Amino acid sequence: MSEIVTIALLGQPNSGKSTLFNALTGLRQHVGNWPGKTVEKKDGSFSHNGKIYDIVDLPGSYSLSANSDEEVITRDFIASGRADVVCILADSSQLERSLFMTADYAGITVPSFLVLNMADVAREKGKNIDVNVIEKNLGIPVILFSANDKKGYEPFYKALERAVTDKSIIDASSLEQEYAGINGYNEIKEMVPDGLISGYSPMWIAIKALENDPVVIEKLKTGLDPEKTEKIDSFRKSVQGAVEAGGAKFAWIDSVLSGAVNEKNENITLSKLDRIYTNKTWGKPAVVLTILIGLILSFIPALPLMGVGMGIAALKAPIGEWLISAGCPDILIAIINSVIIQSFAYIFQMLGFVFGVTLVFGLLEEIGIMARVSYVFDNTMGKLGLQGKSVMPFLVSFGCTMGGAAGSRVIENWGQKVLTIALAWAVPCGAAWSVVPMLSTLFFGPGAVLVIVAILLTMILHMWITAKIFGRNLITQENRYGMIMEMPPYHKPKWGALLRYVLGRTKDTFIRVTRVVLVVCTVFWLLSYSFVSGSDPILYKIGMAIEPVTKIFGLNWKLFMAFVASSIGKEGALGVISALFNGGNFYGAFSDAMSGGAVAADLNNTLLTNVTKPEALAFIFAITFNMPCVVALAATYQEIHSVKWTAKIAIYYTLGALVLAAVVYHIGILIW
């Protein structure tokens, strides 16, 4: 027997699984993908009493059916025999419903124990639970637990050790009696060959067959002769198996709980806060206000990191001077300044957003507010094929798209996550808001208001069209289901675990984003640097060569270069214009502009004399709806783990911005 014990965490969403996982592993965790799947995989390790435990957080799902990738992954992992013990989580405050997973697990022969989480919330609700009764009925260790209570962990470790030594398996005999009442159950079970799926008993397989489980039925078909398969099919057609099996499971849960729960049966009403959130008129404003307050508060922990970023950017000039005085070759100074220092300055500034957003979203999720957000925006976001929660990354993206991408991790379904980020890119970020109003006012005076209204309307249209284009491939019909979800009671967060999780996430983001940003900044630098003094950089040559084409979009080569620069960072766009129109050296223009360098004092005049109104309008739309910035690109990749989709989104936005520019340019020509 190996020294290391592997635990798998099994539980429905909102059962406090991640809190427990984070509390147990701390920073010793790793986030990746399940092989060949787009479902996130979290594993980690911890030691207790000199023993090392590996822990795998199985993807959250509501049952062990085979309707989603998450469920299939969970089942396959259990069948693989890699878990020595499965820790099943349930929510004590919603005990009856949340024991469904335990009932669905019964019949699986991998040892298990049951953790009734959120005991504190149950207690507050006036509910007394006698775990000894439940333990006797189930035949596996059962504990009452609050993930946010430090004292609770000793019993957890004890239950774990007991489950490992006793190899405790759920006593399913009384559950089977319930199943036996379903027409065809006994007959099908007789036909199930031993060991059809390792780790799963014939009872489990028989009931899944009745539930029309496609994977189990396929297995039975290959393992049995056609005559028997036909018989099973006829039984399946004769009953609403899944409905009856569900009823049987809950009947069993009732019997397991009988005598174990003592509850003051209060009349259930909505709490004051929920009455506001669920209010027809005030619900949406209240949710948006909650999120905004959260975002404002998130700036407090974010500021130090942003300060670091600005500090790094400020190092550029002194380091440059020092390198020159040290006789360092130009090219090396350029690499150090334009690629390395520049990249880290960007990354740290935006990392502040990631830290703040991850913290606030994590907090909202733990407290239970996220579920209310889903509820309030279910209908609106449903039209885009998304969940109500998707509204949060959208709101964050008005500040920073990278924060929006980081915030999309609250969306469990991968396709919906990718689509959410793809749509969040259309939301003009803080950097766009720092450039657009200024340019609009310069060219259109009071008309700037109209430009901004037009931008917001375009944003909505853009999101709608993008949802249509990408949604077809990303959101399968089975995910277009509306909300069927429990509203968890509010509960206190566990700060330590939350902070450790946020730090871990920020660290992960830092590492992955750094790689992408360094690569992109290097490529960009190579294109814009004159390697032979006096010769023109490649980017300049390309810009000149394709000017006849970019003119269609209303962008002359200078504006087009500024557009290209805006894909790296929107703040840089103005600087590039400023330098190019003032006849500055091309490379110097980029280098200075990208570091937020000085915009020439007479930029306004330069622009007004060199750029026409239609061109200005085209440029404003082009940079607003362009790829947000290189760091947002990297953050998108970090969240969706797919080069293909990241590239698709980036190309789509670059082309989309040019198309929009062309449209407004030609409208502009008609007007002026």
Partner 1 sequence: MKLTELKENNTAVVAGLNGDDRFISRITSIGLTPGSRLRVIKNDKNRPMLVYSRDTMIALNQKECSGIEVTEVGA
- State yes or no: residue 375 binds partner 1 (CB under 8 A): yes
Other C-beta atoms lying within 10 Å of the C-beta of residue 69: 18
Q: Rounded CA gap, 61 and 575, in Å? A: 50
Give the one residue of 18, 25, 93, 566 binding partner 1; rule: CB under 8 A. Answer: 93
Per DSSP, the three-state class of 117 is strand
With respect to partner 1, which residue has the nearer C-beta, 202 or 246?
Answer: 246
Count, residues in the chain: 672
| Residue 569 vs residues 394, 401, 435: alpha-carbon distances, Å | 19, 12, 11
- Window 182 to 211, contacts with partner 1 (CB under 8 A): 211
- State yes or no: residue 672 binds partner 1 (CB under 8 A): no
Residues that contact partner 1, how many (by CB under 8 A): 45
The per-residue b/e assignment along 25-60, b for 16 or more CB within 10 angstroms, e otherwise, is bbeebebeebeeebbbbbbbbbebeeeebbbbbbbb
With respect to partner 1, which residue has the nearer C-beta, 250 or 433?
Answer: 250
Question: Can you list the alpha helix ranges (DSSP code H) found in 60-213?
Answer: 69-79, 95-98, 100-105, 119-124, 131-138, 153-166, 173-180, 185-191, 202-210
Q: Rounded CA gap, 429 and 621, in Å? A: 13
Q: In what order do the strands lie in the sheet with 142-144?
A: 29-33, 40-48, 51-57, 5-11, 85-91, 112-117, 142-144
Per DSSP, the three-state class of 44 is strand
- State yes or no: residue 605 binds partner 1 (CB under 8 A): no
- State yes or no: residue 255 binds partner 1 (CB under 8 A): no
Per DSSP, the three-state class of 555 is coil
Measured on CA atoms in the order 494, 495, 496, 501, is the torsion positive or negative? positive
Give the one residue of 153, 250, 464, 510 binding partner 1; rule: CB under 8 A. Answer: 250
Binding region for partner 1 (CB under 8 A) out of 90-98, 191-199, 392-400, 630-638 = 90-98
| Nearest-approach distance from CB 478 to partner 1, in angstroms | 5
Whose tokens are 């913290």? That residue is: 359
Give the one residue of 34, 100, 470, 587 binding partner 1; rule: CB under 8 A. Answer: 100
With respect to partner 1, which residue has the nearer C-beta, 130 or 161?
Answer: 130
- State yes or no: residue 97 binds partner 1 (CB under 8 A): yes
The four Cα atoms 588, 590, 595, 598 give a dihedral, to 10 degrees, of 70
| Nearest-approach distance from CB 378 to partner 1, in angstroms | 5
- Window 210 to 249, contacts with partner 1 (CB under 8 A): 211-212, 240, 242-243, 245-247, 249
- State yes or no: residue 62 binds partner 1 (CB under 8 A): yes
Per DSSP, the three-state class of 601 is coil
- State yes or no: residue 478 binds partner 1 (CB under 8 A): yes
Site string for partner 1, 281-320 (x = CB under 8 A): --x-------------------------------------
With respect to partner 1, which residue has the nearer C-beta, 155 or 382?
Answer: 382
| Nearest-approach distance from CB 136 to partner 1, in angstroms | 21
Q: Rounded CA gap, 444 and 522, in Å? A: 37
Token representation of residue 572: 């840089």
Measured on CA atoms in the order 120, 126, 130, 134, is the torsion positive or negative? negative
With respect to partner 1, which residue has the nearer C-beta, 206 or 439?
Answer: 206
With respect to partner 1, which residue has the nearer C-beta, 17 or 462?
Answer: 17
- State yes or no: residue 486 binds partner 1 (CB under 8 A): yes
| Residue 572 near residue 594 (C-beta atoms within 8 A) | yes
With respect to partner 1, which residue has the nearer C-beta, 157 or 250?
Answer: 250
| Nearest-approach distance from CB 254 to partner 1, in angstroms | 9
Q: Rounded CA gap, 259 and 508, in Å? A: 47
Q: Report the chain's C-alpha Rg in angstroms.
A: 29
| Nearest-approach distance from CB 102 to partner 1, in angstroms | 12
Binding region for partner 1 (CB under 8 A) out of 189-197, 478-486, 594-602, 662-670 = 478-486
| Residue 619 near residue 611 (C-beta atoms within 8 A) | yes
Give the one residue of 487, 538, 659, 663 binding partner 1; rule: CB under 8 A. Answer: 487
Minimal CA–CA distance to 639: which of 411, 457, 344, 472? 411
With respect to partner 1, which residue has the nearer C-beta, 241 or 399?
Answer: 241
Give the one residue of 151, 264, 272, 280 binding partner 1; rule: CB under 8 A. Answer: 280
- State yes or no: residue 105 binds partner 1 (CB under 8 A): no
Give contact residues for partner 1 (rule: CB under 8 A). 12, 62-63, 65, 67, 93-98, 100, 104, 211-212, 240, 242-243, 245-247, 249-250, 268-270, 278, 280, 283, 371, 374-376, 378-379, 382, 478, 481-487, 489
